[in-house]
Amino acid sequence: MSDFFDAVETRPQEQREVSQMSTLRDILAWAAPAAPALERQLTGIDIASLIDRAALAAVPVLRKSDLLGMQAVAPPFAGLTTTSSGMLRRLLMSPGPIFDPEGYSADWWGAGRAFYAAGFRKGDVVLNTFSYHFTPGAFIMESGAHAVGCAVIPAGPGQTEMQIEAIAALKPTGYAGTPDFLKILLEKAEEAGKPALSIKKALVSGAAFPPSLQQAVAAKGIEAYQAYATADLGIIAYESPARAGLIVNEGIILEIVKPGTNEPLPDGEVGEIVVTRLNKDYPLLRFGTGDLSKIVEGASPCGRTNRRLAGWMGRADQRTKVKGMFVDPAQIDAVAKKHPGIGRLRLIVTRENEADAMTLRVESESFAGELAEAIGASLRASTNLKGNIELVPVGSLPNDGKVISDERPIG
């Protein structure tokens, strides 16, 4: 039996890039006239010019934080879908509310690869504990389980006593859900005298899976793997038996950009995850998830050749109110652009003498007072606020994607 879902997972990365950019151009040429918001996003962009990632970077990022307002103006999907509502499989709703479409094509959410990499195979029975109420989570996982030939128990979350009865009677071999609920189920089943011994594998998502929890699950004889997904995009990346980062899913083009900007970052730098999804029903283009991560350089030891994410590393939206005015990472980036040669910047927001205060730390090879004064003037021009400038050695600020750090006490 193959170690891979299909041969696409092991193709050379250069071949993947050429193929994906070709597919993107074909989809956009067809979809833009049918999706007004997509057409606006492409204003001034020649679709035929999108031959590589450098060209793609000219397209402005559409951020998830913009969707709520866009959908209110153009319900239900903000003019980003090409398939009419009545021709979709499901119309879904996430908190906000933000509305998400699901089309009819097989494994529409791209979850099959994640299940296969986690060891699920035809004949497995999956206890799916994601919610079937409005939100996409359960349907993302169910479509992936079916893609590899598994049967699904549509359990949903909660109701642990009923879940324990279902496990005892139906003997699922696998679990899909959050990692913390898996631990709860295993413990409650043991307490009830009906240990869930049939479950040997798991695909977990939607919550942190720290080493301590990983060890607790493994101690129960369960091989659990992580997947990173969103309600808009489905499975973005997934863990393989190599356990060396999360492999970017096929069918998407993933970039890491400087938070609050359109600018791609080099591999290894922490920034916002931006995804272009090669999907005809919902062709999201440079969609900013608001999540932070970085690219792990090199190919996975498991043999899959796509790029790898380090995992979820926090949120990119660091917009902060200072003295009654919002300060955005894009404004700090504007300061950086005015002073070529400086390194990372971090705005520290604190309270001094019962008032908000700002200190901008700037990596620099020069510690001249004139430079600090010039950067201070740029900060005032960009934010309309005065702040202290602290020049620090190059490489001294953490590579964690954080541009604004709000260190004011709570309460």
* pLDDT at res. 110: 98
284 lies in the same domain as 238: yes
Amino acid code (one letter) for 68: L
173 lies in some domain? yes
Do 344 and 232 fall within a single domain?
no
Q: Which residues contact 8 (CB under 8 A, 6 or more apart)?
A: 16, 250
Supply the pLDDT for residue 410: 65
Domain range for residue 402?
320-406
Please give the residue that has the higher pLDDT: either 206 or 153: 153
Mean pLDDT of the 163-177 span: 97
pLDDT for 329 equals: 86
Q: Using CB atoms within 10 A of its CB, is residue 123 exposed (0-12), middle (13-18) or buried (19+)?
A: exposed
pLDDT tens profile 55-70: 999 999 999 989 989 9
Say if residue 208's pLDDT is above 70.
Answer: yes
Domain assignment present for residue 2? The answer is no
In single-letter form, the type of residue at position 47 comes to I
SS3 264: strand
Neighbours of 182 (CB within 10 A): 25
Identify whether residues 64 and 178 lie together within a single domain. Answer: yes
61 inside domain? yes
Give the position of tokens 């798991």: 202
125 and 169 fall within a common domain: yes
Indicate if 336 and 232 belong to the same structural domain: no
- Residue 305 maps to which CATH number? 3.40.50.12780
**How much is the pLDDT for 411?**
52
pLDDT by residue (tens digit) across 335-375? 999 999 999 999 999 988 767 889 999 999 999 999 999 99
Of 262, 284, 309, the last residue of a domain is: 309
User: Within this chain, do residues 95 and 160 fall inside the same structural domain, yes or no?
Assistant: yes
pLDDT at 198: 98
Distance from C-alpha of 112 to C-alpha of 325, rounded to nearest angstrom = 46
Six token digits for residue 265: 């970052």
Query: Hey, is 198 helix, strand or coil?
Result: coil
Q: Do 180 and 213 form a contact (C-beta atoms < 8 A)?
A: yes
Residue 232 near residue 283, CB atoms below 8 Å? no
Q: What percent of the chain has pLDDT over 70?
A: 99
Mean pLDDT of 121-144: 96
Q: Is residue 232 part of a domain?
A: yes
Whole-prediction pTM: 0.85
Same domain, 256 and 171: yes
In percent, the amount of the chain with pLDDT more than 90 equals 83
pLDDT score, position 1: 63
Contact between 296 and 41 (Cβ < 8 Å) = no
Assigned domain for 253 exists: yes
Strand pairing category for 62-63 and 287-293? parallel
Q: What is the number of domains present in the chain?
A: 2
Residue type, 296: V
Tell me if residue 124 falls in helix, strand or coil. coil
The encoded tokens of residue 211 equal 């080493």
**pLDDT, mean of residues 385-407:** 93
Q: What is the pLDDT of residue 313?
A: 86
Count other C-beta atoms under 10 Å from residue 358's C-beta. 21
Name the helix (H) or strand (E) containing 267.
none
Output the pLDDT for position 224. Answer: 98
Q: Are residues 283 and 356 in the same domain?
A: no
Region 326-340 average pLDDT: 90
Q: What is the identity of the amino acid at 373?
A: E
Phi–psi pair at 134, nearest 5 degrees: 75, -50
Say how far residue 147 (Cα) sits from the centre of its chain.
Answer: 22
Same domain, 349 and 266: no
| CA nearest neighbour of 128 among 116, 113, 114, 144 | 144
Indicate if 343 and 379 belong to the same structural domain: yes
pLDDT band at 170 (very low <50, low <70, confident <90, very high): very high
- Give me the CATH number covering residue 369: 3.30.300.30
Residue that terminates a domain, selected from 252, 279, 309: 309
pLDDT in tens, 41-52: 999 999 999 999
Residue 1 lies in a domain: no
Residues 158, 243, single domain; the answer is: yes
Residue 387 forms part of a structural domain: yes
Let me know if residue 315 belongs to a domain.
Answer: no
Backbone dihedral angles phi then psi of residue 187, each to the nearest 5 degrees: -70, -45
Stretch 77-95: mean pLDDT: 96
For residues 299 and 402, state if they share a domain.
no
Q: Burial of 313 by CB count in 10 Å (0-12 exposed, 13-18 middle, 19+ buried)? A: middle
pLDDT digits 0-9 by tens, 269-286: 999 999 999 999 999 999
